[in-house]
Amino acid sequence: MAEKVNLELPASATIAQAEELLKNMRELFVLGCPVEVDASNTEKVDTAVMQLLVSMQKTLEKQNLSLSFSKTSTAFNNAVKALALESYFNLK
């Protein structure tokens, strides 16, 4: 099985960074590996970025690849909870 590649979310992961993040995600996807997200340093995250993560998970799943989370910050967890994404990301 292919090795996981790491996607580190920045401290501020908001719509302002979404375009750049999307570019990074597309580049990572091309590698054809499962992706592990490190959101341990994320102090601020919004819906735009959460949607990108959902989109990435959907895209990976189509290739039988997975998206997982290695570490998550409290701010990230709070946003996941508020948006009701816990079960989708398997982060309960």
Site residues (vs other proteins, CB under 8 A): 14-16, 18-19, 21-22, 25-26, 29, 44, 46-48, 50-52, 54-56, 58-59, 62, 79, 82-85, 88
The distance of Cα 13 from the centroid of its chain, to the nearest Å, equals: 10
Q: Shortest approach of other proteins to residue 34 CB, angstroms?
A: 15
Toward other proteins, which CB reaches closer, 37 or 56?
Answer: 56
Contact (CB, 8 A) for 6 and 41: no
Q: Residue 84: left if φ>0, alpha if ψ -120 to 50, beta else—which one? A: left
CB of 19 to other proteins, least distance (A): 6
The three-class DSSP label of residue 39 is: strand
